[in-house]
Amino acid sequence: MRRRNFIKAVITGSLGSIISGKADGYDSKKKYEKSCEDTSGPAVEWRRKIPVRYEADVAVIGGGIAGVSAAGAAARSGAKVILVERFAVTGGNLTSGGVGSFCGETRGQGEVFDEIVSSLEKFDAIAEYKPYSRENQSRIFDHEILAVVLQELVLRRSVKMLLHTRFVDVLIKGGRISECLLCGKSGQEALRAKQIIDCTGEGDVARYAGFEVMKGRVKDGLQLPMSMMYFVREVAEDKAGPQLAEGWFEPVRSKEDLPMTSVWPNGPGGKALKVKIPMFDSTDTEGLTAGEVKGRRRMWEVLDYFQRVRKKDWRFDHCSPIIGIREGCRIAGDYVLKVEDLRAGREFEDGVAKGTFYLDGHKPDDEKRTYILKKSEMDVPPYQIPLGSLIAKDGKNLMMAGRCFSADQLSLSSARVSTSCSMMGQAAGITAALCAAKDAEPRDIDASEVKREVVKRGANLEI
């Protein structure tokens, strides 16, 4: 009897609302009121002895394109490197997020990126090269093959890779991060490293260390929106038709009701779809949960429109395992890259990476194809990314690369593309390895030495 009541409660409560697609139990306006720092309510203290199982010169946390590039570059410099990734594959947004396309200039990004491209070419898994322009913004590749290419790249360079391993905390001694606490399938373990590079996208290392981070737009903290990526197969007419069960969610019935949706080819007989999911905080446990739930509902609502209204002969194939995250937290660095720097095509004395992509600032609070800037304001000339924006200002031995580097929101809307993330990763990896070799900290390193090495390794920093 009790069990029957429980089932009834589930159906009329949470499951009932999931089917109707109405309540997701998440109020985006309230989400910033409570953070993990807030222990004013009930709190617990937790102590435990954890074995130091790993030691390295350089620990790279997060194995997206920035992390792989950082780890690969540090290892190429001769450092002992450990790469920590919470999922089963490296690549982050580009693999687990299903993005499958490099935006920006794909030549002159440095030897790590060159190796990635040439490996994809060997698999015949990347579109042919065209110089970057507004007409040729992106170069499509097979994201499943990228997952193999990246893992082999780091292993070839003798990087120790820990998969299914989440970074969970830091220990700080004398202003330095002395150990990173990890949790993998063996349980909790510590990693001791001289230099740490945060490539988590959400700035997890800096956040958990209590270092200053910046989130979203200035007035309300809303981040660049997430998008759900999913894939369909084109099938024969008699196998096609709507797949969404009657009564589930709120299917889209007209073009006007569509959220921003992009569709492009994904291999023979396949299409990739991208649907915008705004107003969820990717750095908040409940926010990310609600974003994923909304993403999967929206995916079906939009697919139903294409199947039922547009009569497309598409059958659902699969959804990427995680929602695509454009912005998490940006770590406050010694320098914060500003949109004015991009507009001026600024060259920095400590410029170690470069951006070429336009200001792709999707409006944070609108699910339509709307942007923060007018079309005429989006273009920027090539610009440099300074080493100062890759060094966490509150830490001694913490650098960052990729979409959690130190920038304002609009600069990030350009520099977050994979090509620039890889360049940042390479520069951070080279710097961290130099630090380990010299027993120095990143801000003590002569930036011109890093710059020289970055250029020697094939990065084109000319603007």
- Binding interface with ligand FAD (CB under 6 A): 61-67, 84-87, 92-94, 97, 99, 101-103, 138, 166-167, 199-202, 204, 227, 229, 274, 324-326, 402-403, 416-419, 421
Q: Which is nearer to ligand FAD, 252 or 322 (CB)?
A: 322
Q: Which is nearer to ligand FAD, 99 or 433 (CB)?
A: 99
β 330-331/213-214 pair status: antiparallel
Phi/psi of residue 190, each to 5°? -110, 150
Taking each continuous run of H as one helix and of E as one strand, the counts in the chain are 11, 17
Q: Minimum Å distance from CB 251 to ligand FAD?
A: 22
Give the three-class secondary structure for 386.
Answer: strand
Query: Quick check: 306 and 312 in contact, CB under 8 A?
Result: yes
Q: Minimum Å distance from CB 222 to ligand FAD?
A: 15
Q: Which is nearer to ligand FAD, 309 or 370 (CB)?
A: 370
Q: Minimum Å distance from CB 72 to ligand FAD?
A: 12
Q: Which is nearer to ligand FAD, 13 or 210 (CB)?
A: 210
Letter string b/e over residues 375-387, b meaning 16 or more CB atoms within 10 A of that residue's CB: eeebebebbbbbb
Token digits for 257? 């009701």
Q: Minimum Å distance from CB 349 to ligand FAD?
A: 25
Q: Which is nearer to ligand FAD, 199 or 303 (CB)?
A: 199
Distance, CA of 306 to CA of 400 (rounded, Å): 41
Q: Minimum Å distance from CB 446 to ligand FAD?
A: 26
Distance between the two ends of the chain, CA-based, in angstroms?
73
Q: Which is nearer to ligand FAD, 326 or 457 (CB)?
A: 326
Nearby residues of 405 by Cβ (< 8 Å), 6 or more positions away = 330, 331, 333, 337, 385, 389, 390, 412, 415, 424
Q: Which is nearer to ligand FAD, 277 or 336 (CB)?
A: 277
Distance, CA of 399 to CA of 386 (rounded, Å): 12
Letter string b/e over residues 317-347, b meaning 16 or more CB atoms within 10 A of that residue's CB: eebbebbbbbbbbbbbbbbbbebebbbeebe
Q: Minimum Å distance from CB 20 to ligand FAD?
A: 27
Q: Minimum Å distance from CB 340 to ligand FAD?
A: 22
Query: Quick check: 416 and 326 in contact, CB under 8 A?
Result: yes
- Nearest alpha carbon to residue 364 among 219, 199, 190, 150: 219
Q: Which is nearer to ligand FAD, 239 or 425 (CB)?
A: 425
CA angle 90, 91, 95 (to 5 degrees): 110
Q: Minimum Å distance from CB 174 to ligand FAD?
A: 24
DSSP character at residue 319: E
Q: Which is nearer to ligand FAD, 28 or 106 (CB)?
A: 106
Q: Minimum Å distance from CB 43 to ligand FAD?
A: 21
Q: CB-side exposure of 344: number of CA atoms within 13 Å?
A: 9
